[in-house]
Amino acid sequence: MDKLSALRAKMAQRGIDAYIVPTADDHESEYVGEHYKARAYLTGFTGSAGVCAVTREDAALWTDGRYFIQAAREIAGSGFRLMKMGEPGVPTLAEYLRGALPGGGTLGFDGRVVNAALAQELAGAVEGARLCTDCDLVGEIWPERPPRSASAAFLLPLERAGRSAAEKLAEFRADLQSAGADAAILTALDEIAWLFNLRGHDIACTPYLLAFAAVEPERALLFAQEGVFAPEQAEALKKEGVEIAPYDAIYDYAAARPAGSTVWLEESKANAALVGRLPQGVRLHNATFPLELRKAIKNPVEIENLRRAHRADGVAFVRFRKWLQENVGRRRIDECDAAQELTALRARSPEFLEPSFATICAYNENAAMMHYSAKPGSAAGLRPEGFLLVDSGGQYLSGTTDITRTMALGPVPQAWKRHYTAVLRGMIRLSMARFLQGCRGLNLDILARGPIWDLDLDYKCGTGHGVAFVGGVHEAPNGFRWRVVPERRDSCELLPGMVTTDEPGVYIEGSHGIRTENELLCCAGPKNEYGQFLCFETLTLAPIDLMPVLPEEMTASERAFLNAYHARVREELSPLLDEDERAFLDECTRPL
């Protein structure tokens, strides 16, 4: 029996007419551990974003523009059809359910992996629908499902984090008092990691620990799996005023909240099963925690650590570029080989933990898929011609990096050079921005997209996203995009200390893809009668390939910026390289 047939048999047993499988864990995480990849198991689609719905007669998968090409390939033959989110004529999940679910029908999902806000939306999608929220049907048909990860925790010392957990908790308790709440229940792993200076390895490439937390005026509880803390770590947390409790006890904690008390949580992040345990009579304060903004504004200690991480990352990338030049065309190398070499070079840093996401190493037409993932046995071989796009990053004890470079391995067509130069110009123009405080990424996105729009081209994603400190490579609430996408939560006012990627691109299906990406630190500029001006410091330190650049299509200021950037890359990285590597870097960063 295939997976869809097995799932439908389970649905029939429970009287379920439509079943939803999202991409999430108990914490509404963007990336999830192997135990939680139910949607990937069911559909075959391995991208990080998507939700599927199964009825008695139909099966559909929704995902966004980053994954249209990849999803179409991966779900072929699975019985699912692709719903391209945001495209004309494509219904939302709620709209689809209105047409697919019979009146009074039953909608099912695992309430632990569907957030409370989405559960309410789905419940209202069909009048009179009945909800079945305690059914993990994919788990029932998934043989040898990987267990839930319970990795060893580690704590960031003060010289890394810049502020103690006790200090952050005191600040948060003031928020609690201002909100009139008796307790706050935290479910988002990034907020818990930041508040407690806590990290782990429960999600590949994202150093978070599976945990819940509750903060009250007089105590703080951390709900974690058994055995993840060493005795000295538990003692260190105790000194910060933190009690450790069993992971699943968070549900009993919620059920024990007294009637008349006020609990602060965010329904778009807290899972429906947890919110459903709150007793009647408990008042819910549904609002974003100030932690989201505070963690996005890096403190001076974090910023200095980040600069060190980017120097280490830049050294690894210079060595990678040199390795490519010396080996492509001389021996068999495919996309997977190149990705493994870059990870090995990053791992030479004593501060390296792991990649910050699965490396996207995509040759020629494969690079047209924004989140392409090369697979052993089918990875493209690299030849001394065309483009290689490498989007990668590292998790270091000193910070998180995310960098993309597109490199010519040999001759490329003139049209590709025009695309490459337009992308480079867009990245530079955004890097050079000076703007008044109060601007959002929406105000600045045209700087990056403009040269590409001038060619009547576009890219179906945002221009940039926030990056956490030793955490998730995607962080709310800052970003660059030309329109608001509510679920991305990336349209806040830009403030000094925020780190945001700058990564315009061109993607031509069946031909090639180009992206150039640096991380930008928002910095304070002059303040005068017009207000507070802001600008960006480029954190990423790695050469940009000059071979495909058409200098005549760049402005004088754009060429000057590129030359100054490359001079800074030489200055900061050369002392960390040997003589041959320095000579290679000098050639890569020669003045344009």
**Which distant-in-sequence residues (6+ apart) come within 8 Å of 30 by Cβ?**
48, 49, 472, 474
pLDDT at 371: 85
Q: Is residue 577 part of a domain?
A: yes
Both tokens of residue 565?
């950037």
Residue entry with tokens 């994954």? 67
Nearest to 210 by CA among 271, 263, 254: 271
387 vs 69: CA distance, rounded Å: 19
Classify residue 148: in a domain, yes or no.
Answer: no
User: Once rounded to an integer, what is the mean pLDDT over residues 483-494?
Assistant: 92
- Across 203-230, average pLDDT: 97
Place of tokens 């939560």: 489
**The pLDDT of residue 21:** 97
Same domain, 381 and 527: yes
Whole-number Å distance between alpha carbons of 50 and 83 = 10
User: Mean pLDDT across the stretch 132-138?
Assistant: 94
Across the chain, mean pLDDT equals 96
Q: CA 211, CA 250: separation in Å to the nearest integer?
A: 9
Q: Are residues 453 and 524 in the same domain?
A: yes
Residue 250's domain comprises 154-289
Residue type, 528: N
What is the full DSSP assignment across 517-541? BEEEEEEEEEEETTEEEEEEEE---
Please indicate, yes or no, if residue 147 is contained in any of the structural domains. Answer: no
Check residue 328 and give its pLDDT: 98
Check pLDDT > 60 for residue 545.
Answer: yes
β-pair partners for 286: 265
Which residues 6+ apart lie within 8 Å of 372 measured at CB?
Answer: 70, 360, 362, 366
Share of residues in the chain with pLDDT > 70 (%): 100
> Do 275 and 329 share a domain, yes or no?
no
Distance CA 306, CA 539 (A): 8
Position 590 pLDDT exceeds 80: yes
Residue 289 pLDDT more than 70? yes
Does residue 314 share a domain with residue 406? yes
Residue 538 bridge partners (DSSP): 520
Q: What's the CATH code of the domain at 83?
A: 3.40.350.10
Tallying the residues shown for the chain, one arrives at 592
The answer to whether 169 touches 194, Cβ cutoff 8 Å, is no
Among 108, 141, 174, residue at a domain's last position: 141
Q: Are residues 172 and 38 in the same domain?
A: no
> Would 146 be classed as within a structural domain?
no
Q: Evaluate if residue 42 carries a pLDDT over 80.
A: yes
The tens digit of pLDDT for each residue in 156-176 reads 999 999 999 999 999 999 999
Give the pLDDT band of residue 71 (cuts 50, 70, 90). very high
A 10 A CB-CB count for 305 gives 24
Percent of the chain that is helix, strand, coil (3-state, to 5): 35, 25, 40
The mean pLDDT value for 331-354 works out to 98
Cis omega (within 30 of 0) for bond into 258? no
Q: How many domains is the chain partitioned into structurally?
A: 3
Flag whether 247 is in a domain.
yes
pLDDT (mean) for 111-135: 90
99 located within any domain: yes
In a domain, 149, yes or no: no
| Gap between the Cα atoms of 436 and 438, Å rounded | 6
SS3 assignment, position 406: strand
Task: Express each pLDDT in 187-211 by its tens digit.
Answer: 999 999 999 999 999 999 999 999 9
Same domain, 393 and 259: no
Q: Return d(Cα 360, Cα 67) in angstroms, integer.
A: 13
Residue ranges of E strands in 456-504: 464-466, 475-480, 499-502
Contact partners, residue 67, CB within 8 Å, separation at least 6: 45, 47, 49, 50, 369, 370, 371
Closest CA to 21 of 105, 129, 138: 138
Q: Tell whether 69 and 168 lie within a shared domain.
A: no
* Same domain (yes/no): 455, 376: yes
Distances (CA, A) of 298 to 162, 433, 501: 9, 20, 15
Same domain for 322 and 389, yes or no, is yes
Alpha-helical (H) ranges within 151-188 are 158-161, 165-179
Q: Say yes or no: 333 and 253 in one domain.
A: no
- What pLDDT is stored for residue 516 in this prediction? 98
Classify residue 32 by its DSSP letter: -
- Segment 224-239 shows an average pLDDT of 97
Place of tokens 């069946």: 510
Name the domain boundary from 86, 120, 141: 141
CA dihedral (566, 571, 573, 574) in degrees, to 10, reads 110
3-class secondary structure, 96: helix
User: Is 251 in the same domain as 302?
Assistant: no
Q: How confident is the model at residue 408 (pLDDT cuts 50, 70, 90)?
A: very high
Give yes or no: residues 314 and 432 share one domain. yes
DSSP per position, 38-90: HHHHHH---SSS-EEEEESS-EEEEE-GGGHHHHHHHTTTTT-EEEETTSTTP
Using the 3D structure, point to which of 289, 307, 325 is the last residue of a domain: 289
The reported pLDDT for the residue numbered 1 is 56
Q: How confident is the model at residue 104 (pLDDT cuts 50, 70, 90)?
A: confident
Q: Where residue 122 falls among pLDDT bands split at 50, 70, 90?
A: confident
- Asked if the structure places residue 258 within a domain, the reply is yes
Residue in 253, 199, 16, 25 with CA at minimum distance from that of residue 122: 16
